[in-house]
């Protein structure tokens, strides 16, 4: 047992064995905010209250009650779910250690920071303090009624509250509050990119890592959030246009009624066959002197780009789209792609160009990926590539170009290490890759950062684990993932002119222009049809 005193009281954690050897200290289930229940539902979080005596920190706090989209099943949890976990080698180091704060993914509808997926052993072994966090999900974290009582982005403000708690308390765990690196994957990566521009987050961290997600990814920020709230209420038997009636209705519902209920508000959303979350991040309205997390449209945000003096790693995996097809019922998806050209276009074009232009884009995209062939179960590689490009790759590359054009120091990567035994998602998804090889799916890099209970720690696996964790923790320690060439490569910052990136595989190779042909195709499409969303034009 080990005890630490934080601003709210005394925590008692425990000493655990590291799978790589040695030991580390674990403090789980630490409150990062007051329980967001009752009248606090849908509101910004409040600081946690003090407690008397010694609080046990040996077990995780409850996860947020959620519908886990990767297995299409309910994961029981609680509305009182704002907890974080701290892992460190020692609470009394000779000098304060760099801090890394992980923000989990899950499309803002599912996930947690718990060690069943994000076991800390690999990163703590590299002499950093690791923190993982929870934040409110789905409607509880994202309801926006455009009123002061429900302005939106409660889940993002939960993340800010966790960062504030870390800034205030992490020195008690041996961490350096002035050297905090935030990192996240998918919705977590998109969250990191938003913290880089949000006024609420300024000064709470020093460096950042975005894995397979950015704020300009078309699934991140939703349109018509109030209309979505009305549609959701109608699905529950409440039909009203009065937002205050809606608020009281949502506050009266049990938490079990507020998950696993995606509703469509457009024909496209109703017919594609693809899972789309109903609620997500919004551009907030300002109310009086109240603080907003995000109040500018994405194009305007990226024109100004990120806060100065922040070093960033950003990147994607080689076969991002395979996972998306693995989540859907393919028969209706294939049918829709063959009868509706609109199926081929990105979500942001659905909302921002007229039907005639949508059909033009659909024809060009279909021609690019399929020529004169129909989509079938035998040739799904085109859909997998298109899904990965429009949901992750194109937007992340555009984000990097926008930042590099403002002289921000950005290190870009493409993760191509193929090892089914160390995949984040199941081997079922990987055998459905439709591209002639299993593929490196969305999320697969996570198992090289976090230890997993079911994975064999074979020597060849651990060599790759060491490379990836060294790159990530080097950024946290030095602001440069390769301060020397001990890993066999020098990772150069990304520039608009050469688009340098590190190909992360069994060997590390510096290359230029990731996904060059496909990126250029999509940049031409955006230049012609939605130039304001192509952030470097």
pLDDT at position 307 is: 64
* Catalytic residue, candidates 26, 32, 112, 186: 186
Q: Clarify whether 533 is annotated catalytic.
A: no
The per-residue DSSP string of 137-176 comes to -HHHHH---SBTTB-S-HHHHHHHHHHHHHHHHGGGGTEE
Percent of the chain with pLDDT over 90: 71
Predicted confidence at residue 327, as pLDDT, reads: 76
Q: Which of 320, 445, 500, 518 is catalytic?
A: 320
Write down the pLDDT at residue 397: 96
Q: Which CATH class is domain 1-323+412-515?
A: alpha beta
Q: Report d(CA 169, CA 166) in Å as an integer.
A: 5
Contact criterion met (CB below 8 Å) for 7 and 26: no
Percent of the chain with pLDDT strictly greater than 70: 92
Distance CA 362, CA 348 (A): 13
Provide the pLDDT confidence category of residue 427 given band limits of 50, 70 and 90: low
The reply to whether 73 belongs to the active site is: no
Judge if pTM exceeds 0.85: yes
Indicate if 376 belongs to the active site: no
User: How far apart are alpha carbons 213 and 530 in whole angstroms?
Assistant: 20
Main-chain phi, psi angles of 124, to 5 degrees: -65, -30
pLDDT of residue 534: 66
3-state secondary structure of 66: strand
- DSSP one-letter code for 446: G
Helix axes 394-405, 516-529, angle to 10 degrees: 80
| Catalytic residue selected from 442, 445, 518, 533 | 442
């Amino acid at each position: 047992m080990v005890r630490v005193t934080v601003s709210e009281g005394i925590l008692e954690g425990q000493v655990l064995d590291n799978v790589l050897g040695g030991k580390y200290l674990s403090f789980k289930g630490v409150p990062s905010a007051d329980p967001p229940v009752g009248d606090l539902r849908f509101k910004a979080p409040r600081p946690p209250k003090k407690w008397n005596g010694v609080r046990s920190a040996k077990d995780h706090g409850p996860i947020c009650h959620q519908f886990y989209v990767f297995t299409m099943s309910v994961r029981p949890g609680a509305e009182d779910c704002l907890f974080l976990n701290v892992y460190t080698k020692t609470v009394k180091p000779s000098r304060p250690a760099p801090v890394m704060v992980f923000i989990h993914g899950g499309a803002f509808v599912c996930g947690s920071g718990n060690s069943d997926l994000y076991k800390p052993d690999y990163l703590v072994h590299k002499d950093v303090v690791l923190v993982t966090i929870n934040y409110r999900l789905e409607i509880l974290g994202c309801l926006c009624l455009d009123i002061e009582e429900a302005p939106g982005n409660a889940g993002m403000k939960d993340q800010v509250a966790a960062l504030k708690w870390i800034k205030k308390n992490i020195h008690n765990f041996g961490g350096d509050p002035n050297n905090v690196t935030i990192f996240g994957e998918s919705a977590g990566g998109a969250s990191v990119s938003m913290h880089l521009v949000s006024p609420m987050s300024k000064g709470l961290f020093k460096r950042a890592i975005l894995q397979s997600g950015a704020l300009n990814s078309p699934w991140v920020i939703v349109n018509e959030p109030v209309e979505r709230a009305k549609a959701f209420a109608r699905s529950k038997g409440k039909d009203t246009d009065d937002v205050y009636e809606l608020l009281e209705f949502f506050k009266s519902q049990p938490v079990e009624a507020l998950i696993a209920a995606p509703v469509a508000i457009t024909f496209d959303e109703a017919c594609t066959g693809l899972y789309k979350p109903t609620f997500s991040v919004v551009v907030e309205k300002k109310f009086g002197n109240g603080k907003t997390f995000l109040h500018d449209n994405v194009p305007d945000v990226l024109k100004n780009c990120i806060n100065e003096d922040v070093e960033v790693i950003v990147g994607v995996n080689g076969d991002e789209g395979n996972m998306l097809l693995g989540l859907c019922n393919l028969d209706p998806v294939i049918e829709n792609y063959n009868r509706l050209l609109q199926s081929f276009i990105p979500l942001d074009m659905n909302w921002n160009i007229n039907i005639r232009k949508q059909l033009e884009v659909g024809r060009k995209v279909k021609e690019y990926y399929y020529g004169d062939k129909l989509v079938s179960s035998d040739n799904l590689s085109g859909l997998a590539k298109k899904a990965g490009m429009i949901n992750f790759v194109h937007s992340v590359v555009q984000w990097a170009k926008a930042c590099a054009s403002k002289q921000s120091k950005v290190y870009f990567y493409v993760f191509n290490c193929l090892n089914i035994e160390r995949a984040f998602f199941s081997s079922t998804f990987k055998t459905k890759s439709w591209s002639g090889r299993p593929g490196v799916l969305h999320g697969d890099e996570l198992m090289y950062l976090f230890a997993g209970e079911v994975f064999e720690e074979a020597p060849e696996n651990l060599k790759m684990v060491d490379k990836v964790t060294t790159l990530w923790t080097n950024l946290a320690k030095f602001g440069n993932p390769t301060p020397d060439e001990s890993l066999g490569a020098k990772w150069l910052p990304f520039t608009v002119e050469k688009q340098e990136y590190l190909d992360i595989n069994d060997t590390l190779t510096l290359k230029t222009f990731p996904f060059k042909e496909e990126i250029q195709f999509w940049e031409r499409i955006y230049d012609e049809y939605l130039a304001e969303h192509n952030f470097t034009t």
